[in-house]
Every structure is written in structure tokens, then in C-alpha cells.
A and B are shown apart, each in its own frame.
Chain A
Amino acid sequence: MTSLSAPLRRLGELQWRRGFFEWARSDGVTWVYIFKTLLAAFVTLWLAMRLELPQPRTAMITVFIVMQLQSGHVFAKSFYRFLGTIAGSVVTVALIALFAQNTVLFLPSLMIWFGICSAGAVRHRNFKGYGFVLAGYTAAFIGLPALAHPEGAFMAAMWRVLEISLGLIVSTAVSAAILPQSASTSMRNALYQRFGVFAGFVAHGLRGNSQRDAFESTNVRFISEAVGLESLRGVVAFEDPHMRRRSGRVSRLNSEFMAITTRFNALHQLLERIRARGHAEVVTAIEPGLQALATLLDRYAGRALTDADAHQLAEQMALYKEELPSHVRRLRAIFVESNPSEDDLLDFHTAYELLYRFVDELLSYAQTHASLADHSHAREKWDEPFMPQTSWWVSAAAALRAMSVLGLLGSYWIATAWPSGATMTLVAAATVGLSAAAPNPKRMSFQMACGTMLGAVVGFAETFFVFPWIDGFPLLCMVLAPVIVFGAFLASRPQWAGYGLGLLIFFSIGSVPDNVTVYNAYAFINDYIGMVIGMLACAAAGAIILPPNSRWLWSRLEHNLREQVVFAISGKLRGLGSAFESRTRDVLNQAYGLAAGKPEVQRNLLRWMFVVLEVGHAIIELRREQAILPVHPAYAESQSWRQAIRVMGRSLIRLFIQPSRANLERSLAAVDQAIYCVRDTDEPFARHFDTSALRRVQSYLHFIRSSLLDPQSPLAELAPPRPPKD
């Protein structure tokens, strides 16, 4: 871009300079995208015609499907599309070789393959999932037309792979080399700005003046950013060698960020509860330490954290952390003089334990961020990857939907021998595949059907009234360009993406000529009718067969969310923290997206997530504490406090799998019992704030107890009305 700067500087002297740059950043990006799509499509079409591939339009459609605003996405999509196409072709050729003479066997096996692929697509949800989509519908695209003459299946598969590879090569080259919009820039922006938002959020929360709504919405934002950043990281690795060298650190940064948000939420909730109970003396005892941290973070609030800033932040955090223990000891001495109750003292300890760990984790985060400046760094080694979590039910529903659409339309086609039945079936297969990963498949399919109808009308006009008059490739480009520009424009707007995709793909399937143009109006109209019927069938299937935005799915996902506590209690300890954080967030992010437009459901899910994160996180801390205990009889497995904690774990599993009043009461009793047991155990070392393992254990137990009793949590609805304590 630097070579452009000279003419731009002259432009800059004009009045409308600001307006122009704003346009270049927003709408300008869309126009660059449209221009690149157009260029890639025509280069591909020309090459495909020049190389005499049998279906140049397939190559061109590939361009429309993989073209995205940012080049990293194009790389990732192309890579997985290629793998998917190969897998699909191999399977079809094998199926045709096995069942060519027998439709009754061929169609069900194709259906099963398609179901497996749709389930895989939903399970992965990112570009890997896209590979599954392709593996599924490539099989249908090759297999169904080849059913009539199976001897051509192998060549059809070969040609299709070649056509698609051509489209992929051209679109990746165009998107990377011409006016590139890199995904790594947007990832870096997201990463750097996120901390600014977080610093403001923390400073606000520590001072105790954050609103519940703002607290929740900011958390939702952090969650979706954490999930988005992980998928962006996978994309950027394809595109940018600079960021690929830092991939491990970015992953670590994301995981550490999730840990600090959870830790901060825990601290914040605890402070809120203490404040809500109205114990002013506890609050005044805790506050000085919080104020210092809030002022420290104020400096970073609301702006992007650069590498230099991160370095500075790390130094300041290290200093603050060093001073914290002595500071706390002083505050505690003052607090103890006022003769607090045992509960209040526990609150004090727990709050400072959380604060200390929060500061520790923040320091580690800042160090990781600062390490991004180096080309290689010891922090790059990170083996606690982001773990996505998808409910099997969602995948199974997608598989069932895909199989029934393919089965129904395929049998209709075979039963009626409608010549356009093959087109109908395979278009339905493509639509099911492309819309499977969309949050609302019904709407997506319907939009695609509308786009196709528009494509049919335009295509008819072009094929029968315009094409006969033109001659040569440049003129063909001229008449195709308006349709492609319009389609690409629609596709670049998220709310109209379905219309754009439908128009582009299905206009091209029906109306872009091959090397030898065939004019057959009957087949043309029949095919388009078949396509629209196929898509409407998909929309209907999306609405009828286990629709993903309905009640059963939310309750399934809510259950899934609660099961993460079970995972925290019984999962393998190595890498557990990161896995737990990411899985919980991933489930919530999905459920939140599916429940769009239902604020009541979303709120409920969010409240469950807070409880799950708090309790799960505390349990993981407890397990870590127990794993690193020194060898001493007081810490032996057979000690009563360790047994009490195990009993508590079992009761919590029961509670989170089946929340009921009895289970809640049992859990509360178990937690109380554990707290007593820990308190009554003698420890070989002095019971001091930062040296005693048992004091930390007690803090976490107290924290679990206060989470279970939180009036804001969904568990509160189960609890019997309590007389006000104290």
C-alpha cells in the first residue's frame, strides 16, 4: 500500500479527505472484494475454457464459494475444499463401482455418507467443517448424474477435481496478491483492543460501580471474541508466516485471557455478594488493595495494548504482586482488630486469594503479550490447546435432516423418472450442506431459494435473449459482470448472504455457457424448477426436522453446559484448566447464537454459565492444590478433609446433572462439612495467608459455597426460602 501513498497525499489535501478514507475502510473494502471476485471468476472461466475442461462453470462457482473478504479465509477454505473434494470423489467412485446397477443400494449408501459428512460439518463448525460439507455434496454432485451412465463416473470425478483445483488456485492467487486484506491484521487488532476493553471493565468492576447488564453483555462479548479468535488463529496460520511463528503464543494468550476473565468474574461476584449482604466493614477492609489495582489498570483502559505497553504492564504487575502480600498482612491485622465473624474473615481471605491469583495470571498474560515482539520465544511452547465442544445431538440432528432431504427427493426422482430430478436432488444436497453450519438453516435455505429464483429469471433472459447476440469472451464477461457484481455485493452483507450465494452459484450452474453452447429451453426451465423445489424442500426440512433454534436444543445445550462441571471434577488434570474454560465458552457461544432473539433463554444460559465457570474453576484449583501438596501425614489421601472434598465432588456432580432442591441441599451440606474438616485439620506449617495450602483450600471451598448460595444464580430458584442470616 505504501506505493499508493504519493497520489493519496495529494488527495489528502482536499476537504473530503476524511470522508474518502472512511469510505476506503468500510465500503471500499467491499468494492475491492467485488472487484477481486470478478477478476478471479473471469480468469478462471477463461482458463477453464482455454483448457477445454468439460464444465467451466464448476471452476467459476468454486471461485464464488471460496472468495471471502480476507485472504486468510480464502486460503483455509480452499485448502479444506480441496481435501473435501478429493474425499468425496473417492467415495463416489467407490460407491459407483460397488452399486452401479442397483439404485436401491446406491441411494441409501450415498445418504449415509452424506449424513456422516453433515454431522462432521456441524461438529467442527469452522473451515474443517467446510471440508466435510464438500466431501458430502461432491459425492452427490458426481454420483447422481453418473447413475444413468456409470462408465463415465471416474472421468467425471477426475474432471471435477481438476476444475475445482483450477478455481482454487486462481482465487487464492488473486486474493493474496492483489490488494490483499489480511486476516492477521484483524486478528492483531482484535487481540490488542480486547485488553483495552478488559482493563476498563476490570477497573470499573473493582470500584464496584458496574451494572449487571453491562457486566453480562461484556462477558458475552469476551466469550464470542475468545471463540472467534481461536478460529481466526487457525485461518491466519495459512496466510501469514509472521503470525504462524507466534501461533502458540496467541493460543496461550487466548487461554490465559479466558482464565483471567473467569478469575475476575469470580472476584467480582464475590465482591458483589459481600456488598449485597451489607457487611460494610469487610468491604472497607478489602477496598484499598482493589483501588490500587484499578488505578494501575486505568492507564490501559479503552486503548489497544501494544507490545511496548504490554512490557510496561508486566513490570507494573510484577511490582504490584511483590508488594501485595505485605500489604494484605497489614490490612488483615487492622481487620482482625475489629473482631470479625468467621464468615467475614473467610470472605476476606477468599477475596485476597482470588485477587492474588488474578494479579499473578494478569502478569503472565502481560508477559506472553510482550513476547509477541520476538521472533521466537520460550513461551511459544504451549500444549493446552483450545478444545471445542459440540453436542452430539446437534450433529445428529443435522445428519438426520440431510439424510431425509436426500432420501426423500432422491426416491421421488427415481420413482417419477423426472429428467430434472437429478438436478433437484443434487441442488438440495448442496443447499443442505452449505446451510448446515448456519445458525438458522431454514432461513439460509429460503434465502438461497429466493436468490436462485432471481438467478433463474436473469439467467433465462441472458441465455435466450442476450447470448445469441454476442460473440467472443470479452463480450461474455461484459454481460455476466452485472449479475456477478450484484451477487457478490449481496454475499458480502451478512444479512443477505444467502440471497447472494444463491444468485451467484445457481445462476452460474444454469446459465454460464460451456465451450459448446446448448440452447434447450425445456431443460433449462425444468432444471431451475427442480433447483427451487430442492431448496424449498431444504427450508422445509430445516423448519420441521429437529430445528436447531428450538426448545429441545437449548435444554440439551444447557445440560451440556452443566456437564462441564462433571468434566472439571472427573477430567484428567493435565491441561484441564484450558480445556474447561474453552469448552464451556464454546458451548455457551453456540447456545447463545442459536437462542438469538430470545433474551429470556439467553439470560438463563448466561446465568448457568457463570455458576458453571465459578464452581468448575474453583474445583480445578482445589484439584491442583491437592496435586502439589507436600508429603506429610496431614495431607494424606486418607485424611478426613480430603475425603470430605471427594464427597463434595460427587454431590456436585449429582447437583449439576440433575438440579433439584434435595441435591442442592446435599451439596451445601457437603461443602460445609468439607470446610469444617479443613478448618479442624492441623497443618505442619504456619497458617499464613500465602504459605498455607489448607487456607487456600478453605478459600476455594468457601467460594464454592458462596456461588451455590448466590441469589443471582439459577440455583437460587431451587433453594428453600432462607431466613435472613446473621
Chain B
Amino acid sequence: MPREIAFHGVYMPTMTLMFLVALGVGWALDRFISGLDLYRFFWHPALLRLSLFVCLFGAMALTVYR
């Protein structure tokens, strides 16, 4: 993947885009988990959400910087 992408003539880091995508995917996952009431199996839901987001974003970032 290229490290920068052109958006209407403005170069911006792919990471920014990845961040937004990861936010969206994280939100969808959160909705899914809370819809099935799976959070009751976890000790610290907020930490779980944060960790999930970090995993998603990290995995996406690895495709660019590796």
C-alpha cells in the first residue's frame, strides 16, 4: 500500500484514512457485541473496546509500514 494517498490533490497519510476506517469497524463491532449482550462476559468493557480498536488499527497499519 502507498504511504500517502492523494485526495482531490491533497496528499494525506494513509494512516489517517486507516484510523477512520478502524473507528468505523470498531463502532460496528461494538454495536454487534452490545446487541448480543456479550459484554457481560468481560471484566472491563471499555478496555476491551480500546484494545479491539488498537488491534484493528495496528493490523491495518502493518499493511502500510512493514
- A241 to B42 alpha-carbon distance, docked (Å): 12
Contacts of A173 in B (CB 8 A): 50
Which residue in B37, B46, B47, B49 is a CB contact (below 8 Å) of A245? B37
Q: Assess whether B37 is in contact with A176, with CB atoms less than 8 Å apart.
A: no
The smallest C-beta distance from A13 to any residue of chain B, in angstroms, reads 25
Q: Assess whether B43 is in contact with A244, with CB atoms less than 8 Å apart.
A: no
The smallest C-beta distance from A53 to any residue of chain B, in angstroms, reads 15
* With A173-B50, A176-B50, A177-B50 as contacts: A242 and B34 at CB distance below 8 Å: yes
Q: Assess whether B46 is in contact with A180, with CB atoms less than 8 Å apart.
A: yes
Q: Assess whether B45 is in contact with A240, with CB atoms less than 8 Å apart.
A: yes
Q: Assess whether B46 is in contact with A71, with CB atoms less than 8 Å apart.
A: yes
Q: Assess whether A375 is in contact with B37, with CB atoms less than 8 Å apart.
A: yes
Contacts of B34 in A (CB 8 A): 241-242, 244-245
Q: Assess whether A242 is in contact with B47, with CB atoms less than 8 Å apart.
A: no
Residues of A1-26 at the interface with B, using a CB-CB cut-off of 8 Å, are: 2
- A242 to B50 alpha-carbon distance, docked (Å): 17
- A173 to B33 alpha-carbon distance, docked (Å): 19
Per-residue contact bits, chain B 28-40, to A (CB 8 Å; 1 contact, 0 not): 0010011001011
Judged by DSSP, the binding face of B is helix
The smallest C-beta distance from A259 to any residue of chain B, in angstroms, reads 30
Which residue in A177, A241, A242, A245 is a CB contact (below 8 Å) of B30? A241
Q: Assess whether B40 is in contact with A242, with CB atoms less than 8 Å apart.
A: yes
Residues of A374-399 at the interface with B, using a CB-CB cut-off of 8 Å, are: 375
Q: Looking across the interface, which residue of chain B has its beta carbon closest to that of A241?
A: B34
Residues of B12-65 at the interface with A, using a CB-CB cut-off of 8 Å, are: 30, 33-34, 37, 39-40, 43-47, 49-50
Q: Looking across the interface, which residue of chain B has its beta carbon closest to that of A3?
A: B43
- A680 to B46 alpha-carbon distance, docked (Å): 66
Q: Looking across the interface, which residue of chain A has its beta carbon closest to that of B34?
A: A241
Q: Looking across the interface, which residue of chain B has its beta carbon closest to that of A244?
A: B34
Per-residue contact bits, chain A 151-191, to B (CB 8 Å; 1 contact, 0 not): 00000000000000000000001001100100000000000
Q: Looking across the interface, which residue of chain A has its beta carbon closest to that of B43?
A: A2
Q: Assess whether B46 is in contact with A177, with CB atoms less than 8 Å apart.
A: yes
Tally of A interface residues using CB under 8 Å: 13
Contacts of B45 in A (CB 8 A): 240-242
Q: Assess whether B39 is in contact with A241, with CB atoms less than 8 Å apart.
A: yes
The smallest C-beta distance from B49 to any residue of chain A, in angstroms, reads 8
Contacts of A244 in B (CB 8 A): 34
Residues of A58-92 at the interface with B, using a CB-CB cut-off of 8 Å, are: 71
Q: Looking across the interface, which residue of chain A has its beta carbon closest to that of B51?
A: A177
Per-residue contact bits, chain A 543-564, to B (CB 8 Å; 1 contact, 0 not): 0000000000000000000000
Which residue in B33, B37, B43, B47 is a CB contact (below 8 Å) of A177? B47
Contacts of B44 in A (CB 8 A): 177, 180
Contacts of B43 in A (CB 8 A): 2
Contacts of B46 in A (CB 8 A): 71, 176-177, 180, 239
- A177 to B45 alpha-carbon distance, docked (Å): 9
- A180 to B49 alpha-carbon distance, docked (Å): 13
Q: Looking across the interface, which residue of chain A has its beta carbon closest to that of B45?
A: A241
Per-residue contact bits, chain A 447-485, to B (CB 8 Å; 1 contact, 0 not): 000000000000000000000000000000000000000
Contacts of A2 in B (CB 8 A): 43
Q: Looking across the interface, which residue of chain A has its beta carbon closest to that of B40?
A: A242
Residues of A324-383 at the interface with B, using a CB-CB cut-off of 8 Å, are: 375
- A242 to B36 alpha-carbon distance, docked (Å): 10
Contacts of B47 in A (CB 8 A): 176-177
Residues of A175-234 at the interface with B, using a CB-CB cut-off of 8 Å, are: 176-177, 180
The smallest C-beta distance from A523 to any residue of chain B, in angstroms, reads 35
Supply 13 A–B pairs (Cβ within 8 Å), ascending by A: A2-B43, A71-B46, A173-B50, A177-B50, A239-B46, A241-B33, A241-B39, A242-B34, A242-B37, A242-B39, A242-B40, A244-B34, A245-B34
8 more A-B contacts (CB under 8 A) besides A2-B43, A241-B30, A241-B34? Answer: A173-B50, A177-B44, A177-B47, A180-B46, A240-B45, A242-B39, A242-B45, A375-B37
A residues with a Cβ closer than 8 A to B are: 2, 71, 173, 176-177, 180, 239-242, 244-245, 375
Nearest 10 A/B pairs, CB to CB:
A241-B34, A176-B46, A375-B37, A177-B47, A177-B50, A241-B39, A177-B46, A180-B46, A173-B50, A242-B39
